[in-house]
Amino acid sequence: MDKLIVKGRKRLAGEVNISGAKNAVVAIIPAAIMAEGASVVENLPCIEDVSCLCKIIEKIGGTCQYIDRHTLKIDATGPLDTCATFDEVRKMRASYYFLGALLARYKKAEVSLPGGCNFGVRPIDLHLKGFRALGATVIEGDGVVKVYADKLVGTSIYMDQVSVGATINIMLAATMAEGITTIENAAKEPHVVDTANYLNMMGAQIKGAGTDVIRIRGVEKLHGAQYAIIPDQIEAGTYMIAAAITGGDVLVKNIIPKHMDSLTAKLEEMGIQIEEGDDSIRVCANHPLHGVNVKTMSYPGFPTDLHPQIVALLSVCDGISKITENVWENRFQYVEQLCKLGAKIQVDGRVATMEGIEKYHGAKVSATDLRAGAAMVIAALAAEGETEIDGVRYIDRGYEDIEEKLGALGADIHRIHVAD
Ligand code: UD1
């Protein structure tokens, strides 16, 4: 597995372009197979999860053709195999969207249970509850979920817990159900809105995405559409934090600044200067920075997917900081790794307390999951000496060209290819 080697304490400066959102594209690519026609997806991030989704589509009978590195044509016109129970499906959690998409179009699907990042129990009970409410029969067993229905009928669904994946998956299925479906206590994340916008361009009738009530009037058919993915809120946040930890001056471009509000508020509280443009944010940091307290929440709260990264920064801020994790109970696997670089972190249940240290010292660490990997990179950028990060395949799942983008900002970072 590849490694990243980082020689730290280089101040980041310049401009970085943010790619399309991973969490939007992993819903939009499966949604594309709901149409009898081709879709063209633009602003596609060049990440491992996209390659994996393309393989899944081709294995069930569709085609994926790159027009250029960031534009993909997906054609699932022909009949598709509704059974997706092979390795690529098991590799990524977001393959659960094939359940909703195939159920919508063919009223049946058989999909392996999802994998993805390894933190905490990641159930899909809310997704399945939603499918059942729409009239589907759901059978689970041997690592596979089977759903089928004579027809799907719109209904009112109240989500016990705010779930991004369940909101999108139920929205996919309801798009081609008879009548009206209402999803209450829906997730409001930008990628929920992006998926709804794409479905609407395909002919769906979805209203209210981005609020906690989504109303879907079912349609019989969808057609292909051309659609540009929104910028990645989490990638943008990662570069903003990377700029801050190096005392840098970085213009983070091609973003929606509104999506960054919960992070910019915290960075400002820490003493970092933020300048918002129409589609960019400039981050300018001078040490010392003050520790703050952070609580992760669903959108518009502070995203759990920026939790490890902000802790990497808070660990070198003055004083005591706390983070409360409200979404994933076992998100703290990165802590042990960060402590190898010198961080002082105590975890008690869902709360981690950071005692600010003067600086990190390079060491050998592992990316234990995607965002933990991003946190290792951030800490390494600020560390004295050399840090070796393994498990880079996790980072590649969600960050396009990470070493090139950081290198262009002045970081000393390179990859060593290691055969698996
Ligand atoms: C999505 C993101 C992930 C992010 C998470 C929270 C994608 C592909 N991934 O994951 O990066 O960390 O949102 O913002 O978009 N839950 C249940 N039952 C369910 C589903 C979820 O109990 O059926 C619980 C989970 O255990 C978790 C919480 O709900 O505690 C939120 O999970 P959810 O929003 O569903 O996360 P994902 O959609 O899987």
Query: What are all long-range contacts of 62-65, with beta carbons under 8 Å and residues at least 24 apart?
Result: 62/33
Q: Does domain 2-19+231-417 have CATH number 3.10.300.10?
A: no
CA-closest residue to ligand 1 atom 7: 23
Contact 383, 406 (CB under 8 A): no
The chain-wide mean pLDDT, for the chain, equals 95
**Dihedral-angle region of residue 356 (phi above 0 means left; psi in -120 to 50 means alpha; beta otherwise):** beta
Residue in the block written with tokens 């081609």: 176
Q: Is 64 an annotated catalytic residue?
A: no
Q: Is 23 in the pocket of ligand 1 (CB under 6 A)?
A: yes
Q: Average pLDDT, stretch 17-26?
A: 98
pLDDT at residue number 122? 64
Q: Is 231 in the pocket of ligand 1 (CB under 6 A)?
A: no
Distance 188 CA to ligand 1 centre (A): 12
User: Ligand 1, from 140, 164, 371: best to mutate by most atoms within 8 Å of Cβ?
Assistant: 164
119 — pLDDT class (breaks 50, 70, 90): very low
pLDDT tens digit string along 182-224? 999 999 999 999 999 999 999 999 999 999 999 999 999 999 9
Structural element, H or E, at residue 203: none
pLDDT over 90 (residue 145): yes
pLDDT over 50 (residue 81): yes
E strands present in 363-409: 364-366, 386-390
pLDDT tens digit string along 361-411? 999 999 999 999 999 999 999 999 999 999 999 999 999 999 999 999 999
pLDDT at residue number 57? 97
pLDDT over 80 (residue 102): yes
pLDDT tens digit string along 286-333? 878 999 999 999 999 999 999 999 999 999 999 999 999 999 988 999
- Ligand 1 atom with the smallest distance to the CA of 22 is 8
User: Ligand 1, from 23, 29, 124, 163: best to mutate by most atoms within 8 Å of Cβ?
Assistant: 163
pLDDT at residue number 116? 47
Amino acid found at 402: I
- In whole angstroms, what is the distance from residue 66 CA to residue 350 CA? 43
pLDDT over 60 (residue 83): yes
End-to-end CA gap in the chain: 5
Distance 126 CA to ligand 1 centre (A): 10
* Active-site residue (options: 117, 284, 317, 339): 117
- In whole angstroms, what is the distance from residue 231 CA to residue 42 CA? 11
pLDDT over 70 (residue 124): yes
pLDDT over 80 (residue 136): yes
Contact 127, 115 (CB under 8 A): no
∠ Cα 354 232 260 (to 5°): 55
CA-closest residue to ligand 1 atom 3: 305
Q: Could you tell me whether strands 320-324 and 63-68 are parallel, antiparallel, or unpaired per DSSP bridges?
A: unpaired
Q: Could you tell me whether strands 83-84 and 137-141 are parallel, antiparallel, or unpaired per DSSP bridges?
A: unpaired
Provide the percentage of residues in the chain whose pLDDT is more than 70: 98
- In whole angstroms, what is the distance from residue 6 CA to residue 43 CA? 28
Domain spanning 22-228: CATH superfamily? Enolpyruvate transferase domain (3.65.10.10)
Q: Is 14 in the pocket of ligand 1 (CB under 6 A)?
A: no
pLDDT over 90 (residue 339): yes
pTM higher than 0.85, yes or no? yes
Q: Is 82 in the pocket of ligand 1 (CB under 6 A)?
A: no
pLDDT at residue number 355? 98
pLDDT over 60 (residue 144): yes
Q: Where in the chain is the domain with CATH 3.65.10.10?
A: 2-19+231-417, 22-228
**Nearest to residue 50, comparing CAs of 80, 76, 25?**
25
- In whole angstroms, what is the distance from residue 155 CA to residue 172 CA? 14
**Nearest to residue 136, comparing CAs of 174, 163, 164?**
174
pLDDT over 70 (residue 115): no
pLDDT at residue number 117? 46
